[in-house]
Amino acid sequence: MEDFVLEVEGLTKTVKGNKKIVNEMSFQMKRGEILGLLGPNGAGKTTTIRMLVGLIGKTAGKVVINGKNLDVEGQRCKEDIGAIVENPAFYEHISGFKNLQQYARMARQNITTDRLNEVVQLVKLEHAIHDKVKTYSLGMKQRLGVAQAIIHKPAVLILDEPTNGLDPQGIRDLRDYLKVLAKEGTSTLVSSHLLSEMQLMCDRVVIMERGKVIDVTEVSNISNGSDSDNKSVLIAVTVAEGQSLDLVLDGASSNYELMKTNGNVVTIKLAHDKIPELNRFLVKKGIDVFGIEIVKTTLEDRFLQVTNLANEG
Ligand SMILES: Nc1ncnc2c1ncn2[C@@H]1O[C@H](COP(=O)(O)OP(=O)(O)OP(=O)(O)O)[C@@H](O)[C@H]1O
């Protein structure tokens, strides 16, 4: 059985006027993964996250965190979560390290100085941790926020739009240490409306629109050009000027599906292991092949595809 660290089932939030701003959301997060919650502005990401961390109540649905039902063991669920939902607040006039010590004291958990040093190292803030927070850049405050959120080694880390205000290096660092955390047993749910960042950062993404889950996609499948079943790929075949593959492929084999012809570049869908066979077939038919390239789709392609489908349906 799959080991899920977060299970969300039928999560719903209804507001005034009986409007469902989160509408029967269901998804699961595997242990050790970085899961993205992706959707346009107003899709309901923040509302979903606020319900998961217990900042607001839910109207309906079930949330299970690390095997514990939020409705039954709310307090223990909270212990399994670390989160940055709104901008983390710090005491500006003391150092980052003192802020962490203060936080650890308030959390009333037995957190050692070694652990504090460990999290500081993880978020790469060693050089500035003894400086006053008021001297920190936005990115440094964000690192300190993550350090604070993971101090108690939660099973689940939840970050709402963590890349806001980060420069490219900051985003890369965040991605790197989320991966380290995943290996150490903290799985992360991260929300964003920025497709390219989610593609770089996440293992899978839950795409939501108007309060509903409309797709769950494995990011590696998107970037290597395969379908979600991981069997077929799209390839772009460049042939000699004036040659047409339409007739050649027509009825040739059910293994190849001609998707699109654009000048002398033809897009074909087929199983990955059929590429050499197709190549031999084309050569035998007298087609001059100048190139075969796997078409990589981006998360943006996928997002537009599924949101268009959702809007048509
Ligand atoms: N308490 C509330 N009462 C009425 N409507 C609300 C309430 N809270 C949120 N909304 C609406 O619900 C929708 C979802 O809001 P939410 O903040 O969850 O979206 P989001 O996906 O996080 O968007 P963004 O990317 O802009 O932060 C929005 O249209 C918002 O205006």
Which protein residue's CA is at the shortest distance from atom 26 of ligand 1? 41
Relative to the CA of 46, which ligand 1 atom is closest?
A: 22
Distance 252 CA to ligand 1 centre (A): 52
CA 210 to ligand 1 center in whole angstroms: 9
Cα(164) to ligand 1 centroid in Å equals: 17
Cβ of 210: how many Cβ atoms within 10 Å? Answer: 17
Distance 188 CA to ligand 1 centre (A): 22
pLDDT digits (tens, 9 = 90+) for 169-200: 888 888 888 989 988 889 999 998 888 788 88
- Of the pLDDT bands very low, low, confident and very high (cuts 50, 70, 90), residue 49 is very high
Q: What is the pLDDT of residues 114-151, one digit of tens each?
A: 999 999 999 999 999 999 999 998 889 989 999 999 99
Instruction: Please report the atom of ligand 1 found closest to the CA of residue 39.
Output: 21
Quick: pLDDT tens for 205-254.
999 999 999 989 888 766 555 555 546 778 899 998 888 777 777 767 77
Nearby residues of 292 by Cβ (< 8 Å), 6 or more positions away: 235, 236, 237, 238, 275, 279
φ and ψ at residue 95, rounded to 5 degrees: -75, 165
Ligand 1 atom nearest the C-alpha of 43 is 21
Give the whole-angstrom CA distance, residue 94 versus residue 189. Answer: 30
* Confidence at residue 175, expressed as pLDDT on a 0 to 100 scale: 85
Which residue, by CA, sits nearest to atom 30 of ligand 1? 42
Which tokens in the block code for residue 106?
């308030």
Between 227 and 98, the more confident residue is: 98
Nearest-atom number in ligand 1 for the CA of 208 is 21
Q: What is the pLDDT of residue 159?
A: 94
Ligand 1 pocket test, pick from 14, 15, 20, 21 with the greatest ligand atom count within 8 Å of Cβ, gives: 21
The pLDDT of residue 223 is: 58
pLDDT at 269 over 90: no
Tokens representing residue 115 in the block: 């652990």
Residue 267 has pLDDT above 80, yes or no: yes
Helix (DSSP H) and strand (DSSP E) numbers for the chain: 11, 14
pLDDT class of 99 with cuts at 50, 70, 90: very high
What is the spatial distance between Cα 194 and Cα 40, in angstroms, rounded to a whole number? 9
Atom in ligand 1 nearest the alpha carbon of residue 17: 4
Query: How many Å apart are CA 87 and CA 73, to the nearest integer?
Result: 27
Stretch 25-45: mean pLDDT, rounded? 93
More confident site: 300 or 51: 51
Which atom of ligand 1 is closest in space to residue 160's alpha carbon? 22
Please give the average per-residue pLDDT across 296-302, as a whole number. Answer: 76
The pLDDT, as a whole number, for residue 262 is 83
pLDDT band for position 14 (cuts 50, 70, 90): very high
- The whole-angstrom separation of Cα 113 and Cα 84 is 22
pLDDT of res. 24: 96
Pocket test for ligand 1, best of 46, 58, 164, 194 (most atoms within 8 A of CB): 46
Helix/strand/coil for 161: coil
Q: Tell me the CA distances in angstroms from 312 to 21, 217, 309, one per residue in order.
A: 20, 20, 5
b/e code 106-119 from CB counts within 10 Å (16+ = b): eeeeebeeebbeeb
pLDDT(165) > 80: no
Instruction: Output the residue whose Cα is nearest ligand 1's atom 8.
Output: 47
Lowest mean pLDDT across 61-70, 242-251, 259-268, 289-298: 242-251
CB of 273 closer than 8 Å to CB of 238? no
Note the pLDDT of residue 81.
Answer: 94
Task: Read off the pLDDT band of 105 (50, 70, 90).
Answer: confident
Q: Whose CA is closest to atom 4 on ligand 1?
A: 15
Q: For residue range 50-94, what is the model confidence (pLDDT) as tens digits?
A: 999 988 999 999 999 999 999 999 888 888 999 988 777 899 999
Arithmetic mean of pLDDT over the chain: 87
Distance from the alpha carbon of residue 250 to the mean position of ligand 1, in angstroms: 50
pTM: 0.79
From 265, 266, 275, 203, select the one nearest 232 (Cα to Cα). 275
* Residues with a CB atom less than 6 Å from ligand 1: 15-16, 21, 39, 41-47, 193
For residue 229, give the DSSP letter.
Answer: T
Nearest atom, ligand 1, residue 193 CA: 25
